[in-house]
Structure 1
Amino acid sequence: MKRNMLILLLLLSCHCLGYAQQLVSGTVTDGRHPIAGANVFVKGTTDGCLTDSLGHFSFSTLKADSAQLMVTCIGYDNTERDWQKGQGPLDIRLYERTTTIDEVVVTGSTFQFGQANGLKQLGALDVVLDGGSCGDIVAALQSLPGTQKVGEDGKLYVRGGSSEECQTYINGMHVLQPYSTTAPNSPSRGRFSPFLFKGIAFSLGGYDAEYGQALSSVLPMETTDASVSDKLGVSASLIDWNIGGTKTTRQGCWSMNATYMDLGLYSRLFPDRWTWHKPYRQLSFETQWKTQPTPSSVWKSYLGFDRTTLSLNTDGRTLSLEENNLYLNSVAKGSAKGHITWFAGLAGGMVWQDISDALLHGDRYCHRTGELHVKTKASKTLSTWMKGTIGMESFFRYQWLDYRLHDRLHSSKSYLLPALFAMTQYKLFKGCFAEASLRAEYSSLSRHCTLLPRLLLNYNPARHWLLSLSAGSYTQEPADTILARSLAPSRSSLAHHYIAGLQYSHGNTLVRIESYYKRYSRLPLLHQGRYTADGYGASRGFDLFIDDRSLMPNLTTMLSYSYNDSHRRYLNDLTEQQPPYVSRHNLRLALKYGIGIFSLGLTESFASGRKSERRTTPYYNSLDASVTCLASKRVIVYASLSNLLGRKNIYGYRGGKPITNGSDRFLYIGIFVSLKSNKAYDIANF
């Protein structure tokens, strides 16, 4: 009897459950085509599902008589729909969201990382996990199309431009020296940890009038916001040791980070081609203060200092180097009534460098350079289709050079570079946005004022497509070593950019192709021992970029290819020719695959030969690998090895001898531990 009663109760329960559950089904479209991936659910419950590739949805709900459905999808306005018991399949139409000018960032040839300009793609951990980056921002950015592989110094070379033509900005303010100093023919690293930033917007050209003194590209990076909890962490590797943390208060948060790097142990374990007298050593310190004076404003201040020393035998001389690098950055920004946003910033940098046996045995080279950068700007939304920005900035620069061998060559210069800029963003029509800007720069060196017009255009012809066009003029003062030997007054170099791009983005796939043309004039050219502004050149080519995460679960594939045809008469060139740092073809394939707590990275890099001393170098090839283990919420173990195949890459020739790295491979093993945080390696997450 008990058994029969139990069976009866179960049958009744199933019957009641089946009776209570109601089927909701239908189709979501935009009026013409089905919409896949739309979220359809009953308000106030978890009942719902996503539409399939044909826009269909079907799910059960416990609502007995009626319910209110919510339908959401990126790019469309949210829609509510009433549903009644027994109702047949629903036909729901979504309307494309009307984008206001405040929600739009008109950009040219720009790649977004982190949360730069409100877009989220790659974060700091993605930079660290890149197979060939070894945790370096600069090395990770070289995976993007348009960059050149120049392994003897590791700096950013973009679309036929030299490394000096790419300028770095932190929170909108210029960085005087963004790279660390290294031994000869050794790749340098970026001075800043990727964990310092929440957003990176790397522009390969066509940037707006806010940025000046950059002929080829700009790298704007935005530091993280104020922390809401205390942090403390340490890390250790074969080459460096680090400690840092954050203390929060009611007024804001204060952070610090200290690192000591010493290649002495690494050189003994893995000897290279150099004979070291003093190993490469660097002591660096960073501190930040962040506060929110009012609910609508933010103030960030950053101070960083590092000291680098090394001594080694090279080309029959003993090169000894000492360098000190100081950087200060303080910015405030906020919003005011009337749809107004404002920004004010101050940044300063100083570099002291002393080198013995720099070029020849017995010589001494001393270089002191400094910069003060001030900027202010304000933006106002004038209507739903128009936004305006005005600003002003000024660079004050000082340089002192002293070279002694048998005689003394001495140079000292200081100059001002004030500028005014204005930008206007327009919504021309649905899906089409433009930005027209004008920059006026004055150089106290040449006593000339230059007008630099720029135009950017973004057009979405369809939901997944983006067409971008940009054109503009850009100027930049020559480097200190060139200014020291220039005929006065010397005009600044000038470049004109013309870029067209097409992007397709759907789901987990992004395809992007761009073509460009750059024309140079007033480049420094050596004439009878002095530099003039008579150099010229041009650079043209196209870039292809594919980022796909749909081939298989947990696999990210990134492919980039660049073609560049660059010629210029520049520095000591007697005729127009291909610059020695340019490779016509650059190809890179990066794979990242996650298996549980492990992440595997594999990167294959290829570059065609470069011109050097009337010869062409062999092609460049490097297969790099990395393994990351998230041992716990607070511990990361990371290892990477560059150039797995041990290929001896040649970057050029000097006096008939090949230029190569001090070591064909580089092994990095590090452990990152957070002592007071739930996030792994949060010590430098300022």
Structure 2
Amino acid sequence: MRTQGQKLLLLITFLSFIFNFSQVKISGKVTFRNKGISEVNVTLKDTYDGATTDANGNFTFETSEKGNHILTFTHPKYNDVEKPVTIENQEISVNTELKEQISEIDAVVVSAGSIEASDKKRATALLTPIDIYTTAGADGQISSALNYLPGVQKVGETEGLFIRGGTGTESKIFMDGSLINNYFSNSVPGIAGRDRFNTALFKGNIFSSGGYSALYGQALSGALMLESVDLPDQSSYDFGISPIFLSAGFQKLGKEKTYSYGGTLGYSLLSVMQEVFNFNTDFIEAPKGLNGDFNFRVKTKSGGFFKYYGMYDSNRMGVRSESLEPEYDYALVRLKGKNTYHNLSFKQKFGSYLLNAGTSYSYNRSDLNFSTETGEVESGKTQLLNNGNYINFKAVLERKINKISAVRGGIELNNTSEKLDFEEANKHYKDLISSVFVETDLGFSNQLSAKIGVRAENSSFLGKTNIAPRFALAYRLSKDWTTSFAYGLFYQNPESKYINEPADLDFQKSQHYIFQLQRASEGRSLRLEAFYKKYDQLLKIRNLNEYVQTADNNNGYGFAKGVELFWRDKKTFENIDYWISYSFLDSKRDFMNYPYSLKPNFASEHTLSVVAKRFFPEWKSGINLSYTYAKGRPYYDIATKDESGKTINFIRTEGKLKDYNALNLSFNYLPNLGKKDAKAFTVLVLSVSNVLGTKNIYGYNFSTNGSRSSAVVPPVNTFVFIGAFISFGVDKTQDAINNNL
């Protein structure tokens, strides 16, 4: 037995020796740009033999395989590599250089001048609908929420996005690619119009404060691109109630989930709140409005998508203010406004091409009636009536070159027809702006990308054509740090409301230079941006009479430069989301009726905003704070005639407004209504704007001779809003909690 055991042990030892002797060692190094790559899987194809590279990119393993084989190298961030090897009895050394895998997820994106909030950018999304609804002081309006981002000036006396030294009319807003004319409601001088569009209508947005895509034009300063929602998850019914409005709506989803339709109806009236709060504005007719909309969405069998949205609204108000002219006690202005907007868009893939096409139509009527009052006698009635019809058509064809490169091009038509009736200054303004554009996204690697485009426009009214090149470059410095640079030319027609008689005019022009440094990681985002804008051919105007000004020439010019900072943090503190934005702006312009180059009266040198949100999951409630500080803006009393009656512009009075301060507070509560498993979603909201009651001033109005003045102030210093929003058929409570409502 012992002899047999010894023989068996000897046999095992001999076989082990033979087996070990037949093993062949394979080793090498895997690199990218001469640096070793760790975690690369190195294997012999169709075998179990292989290894993983170490921190320096080195690998080694042994195999008993013989003959011709394939050695594979795989890593999620690099392209797979296969190398043939012949295994005999000697050691094998294989060194390999990998190429970076181009990926939409990993590729650096050009972001100079723009902030995107969409499903694709959810990790660093800014101002999604949830963000907007829960930003104290934003009143659920997209435009108001944008005031808490860097680059946007706080201007309360008139509507519009005042971006980096530009006027409110120098920024444009688009829906599904189509221009929205008259995004804001009609209003009276000194009171800003509100957003006409419901924030819940949109699923995402791209806000550009400069250097934006060649797909968009007719904006000297910036653009806001809104993308409407697709098919709803399920049918639902919605109700909203507060002391100032009532609303109801529904969305019906088809059984096969290929189509949906819905609508809303709302009515607003401010008279109840006038009895509660001490308003600065004397409303002789409380602001009121009626609005309704309808939508349908259809997904075709071939994968196409139709969207339609139509809306109508009307509003009225009347305001009395102390007259600045000594012969009258009061000045009165009454408004009747009407507006309708329709948008139809279509998206479809045709092989390697994607077609996006859309058209929109809008009609706007603003009926302003001016009068004076002495004692109880009203006189001097004057009507200023504007009617506008606007048609927009746009088609974009896009083709992917690879995963992160694409080329797109298209056409756009903007037709405007406006009529103004005011005593002797009647007019009918017509213009067709025809545009063609082409743009390419070039992804050289995951670290380097570029966007190059050009846009050409022709105006039938001006009888002139412009060509606007655009260029942007982005480079990833490290895992979390990227830098971007953007340059572009931008053109815009002179404002039609100032074109009341023949004039030799040209496009207004601006040049943008933007440099950005950004750090983005999970839950945190830091943006530093510097910019310089040069303006040429700005509009100069003169007075036709007390109410109407007319274009004179395009001899205006100016500049705007500054730096901006934005920091958002959703990670450091549990259930707390906060952001801080700061803007420094240095700007001067000689335009409109300015006698020479001045700091614009809508431009504040320093603007600081802080937003903080704390959510309590166990109570399903949240508290939101926002604070805005803006350095006092300049103001001017610009006279148009000297003492001899000669027409000449000169500054009669100038000064600086006091600094703007506003602290806002809001509470949100999500109670359970009905049965525990019922599909219902309810939000109760309490919002207080300007909690401390700071008496802010937006500017001054002056009498004809400059001897008297009055401050332009908010309609009310502090305002309290209480409302309830209820949805049946869909429960979004958990979504709201997850998004830190």
Q: 1:108 to 1:361 in 2, by over 3 A?
A: farther
Distance in 2, matches of 1:607 and 1:74, equals 48
Percent identity, please.
Answer: 26
1:568 aligns with 2:589: yes
Q: What residue in structure 1 maps to residue 579 of structure 2?
A: 558
Q: What residue in structure 2 maps to residue 174 of structure 1?
A: 179
Q: 1:546 to 1:128 in 2, by over 3 A?
A: same
For residue 593 of structure 1, the aligned residue among 600, 614, 636 is 614
CA drift of 1:120 comes to 6.2
For residue 428 of structure 1, the aligned residue among 444, 448, 451 is 444
Please give the per-residue CA displacement for 1:360-409, whole angstroms capped at 9, x wherever unaligned: 942110001121000111111234564211101111111111113xxx21
Structure-to-structure mapping, 1:93-242, within 5 angstroms: 98-99=102-103, 106-115=110-119, 121-122=125-126, 123-242=128-247
Distance in 2, matches of 1:340 and 1:105, equals 22
Q: 1:235 to 1:156 in 2, by over 3 A?
A: same
Report the AA paired with residue 632 of structure 2.
Answer: G
Report the AA paired with residue 117 of structure 2.
Answer: F
CA drift of 1:492 comes to 1.6
Residue-pair matches, total: 598
For residue 259 of structure 1, the aligned residue among 266, 272, 278 is 266
Q: Is the 8 A contact 1:373 1:396 kept in 2?
A: yes
Please give the per-residue CA displacement for 1:120-145, whole angstroms capped at 9, x wherever unaligned: 62431221010111211111111000
1:672 aligns with 2:728: no
1:376 aligns with 2:395: yes
SS at match of 1:378: strand
Moved more, 571-580 or 648-657: 648-657
Distance in 2, matches of 1:489 and 1:75, equals 58
Q: 1:157 to 1:195 in 2, by over 3 A?
A: same
Q: TM-score, normalised by structure 2?
A: 0.77
Distance in 1, matches of 2:168 and 2:75, equals 43
For residue 660 of structure 2, the aligned residue among 620, 636, 639 is 620
Q: 1:375 to 1:32 in 2, by over 3 A?
A: same
SS at match of 1:220: strand
CA drift of 1:113 comes to 1.9
Q: 1:568 to 1:108 in 2, by over 3 A?
A: same
SS at match of 1:540: strand
Q: Is the 8 A contact 1:116 1:200 kept in 2?
A: no
Distance in 1, matches of 2:371 and 2:448, equals 54
1:506 aligns with 2:521: yes
Q: Is the 8 A contact 1:113 1:119 kept in 2?
A: no
Report the AA paired with residue 371 of structure 1.
Answer: Y
Q: Is the 8 A contact 2:107 2:445 kept in 1?
A: no
1:662 aligns with 2:702: no
Q: Is the 8 A contact 2:110 2:484 kept in 1?
A: no
Q: What residue in structure 2 maps to residue 634 of structure 1?
A: 681
Q: What residue in structure 2 maps to residue 415 of structure 1?
A: 431
Q: What residue in structure 1 maps to residue 693 of structure 2?
A: 646
Please give the per-residue CA displacement for 1:543-600, whole angstroms capped at 9, x wherever unaligned: 1000012331011110000001110001100010011111000000111001131111
Q: Is the 8 A contact 1:155 1:189 kept in 2?
A: no
Distance in 2, matches of 1:278 and 1:624, equals 28
Q: What residue in structure 2 maps to residue 549 of structure 1?
A: 570
Distance in 1, matches of 2:390 and 2:607, equals 35
SS at match of 1:355: strand
1:464 aligns with 2:490: no
For residue 309 of structure 2, the aligned residue among 298, 302, 305 is 302
Report the AA paired with residue 114 of structure 2.
Answer: T
Question: Please, what is the CA RMSD of the aligned residues?
Answer: 2.7
Q: What residue in structure 2 maps to residue 69 of structure 1?
A: none
CA drift of 1:99 comes to 1.8
CA drift of 1:680 comes to 5.5
Q: Is the 8 A contact 1:587 1:605 kept in 2?
A: yes
1:397 aligns with 2:420: no
SS at match of 1:631: coil
Give unpaired runs (5+ residues) of structure 1. Answer: 1-29, 36-71, 79-93
Distance in 1, matches of 2:543 and 2:293, equals 45
Q: Is the 8 A contact 2:292 2:313 kept in 1?
A: yes
Please give the per-residue CA displacement for 1:11-37, whole angstroms capped at 9, x wherever unaligned: xxxxxxxxxxxxxxxxxxx987999xx
Distance in 1, matches of 2:542 and 2:441, equals 44
SS at match of 2:234: coil
Report the AA paired with residue 482 of structure 2.
Answer: L
Q: Is the 8 A contact 1:672 1:680 kept in 2?
A: no
Q: 1:369 to 1:444 in 2, by over 3 A?
A: same
Q: What residue in structure 2 maps to residue 272 of structure 1?
A: 279
For residue 603 of structure 1, the aligned residue among 609, 626, 631 is 626
1:362 aligns with 2:377: no
For residue 331 of structure 1, the aligned residue among 322, 345, 353 is 345
For residue 340 of structure 1, the aligned residue among 342, 348, 353 is 353
Distance in 1, matches of 2:462 and 2:266, equals 42
Q: Is the 8 A contact 2:124 2:523 kept in 1?
A: no
Q: Is the 8 A contact 1:672 1:681 kept in 2?
A: no
Structure-to-structure mapping, 1:508-547, within 5 angstroms: 508-526=523-541, 530-547=551-568
Q: Is the 8 A contact 2:334 2:369 kept in 1?
A: yes
Q: What residue in structure 2 maps to residue 284 of structure 1?
A: 291
Report the AA paired with residue 109 of structure 1.
Answer: G
Distance in 2, matches of 1:426 and 1:200, equals 23
SS at match of 2:422: strand
CA drift of 1:430 comes to 4.1
Q: TM-score, normalised by structure 1?
A: 0.83
CA drift of 1:194 comes to 1.3
Distance in 2, matches of 1:77 and 1:133, equals 47
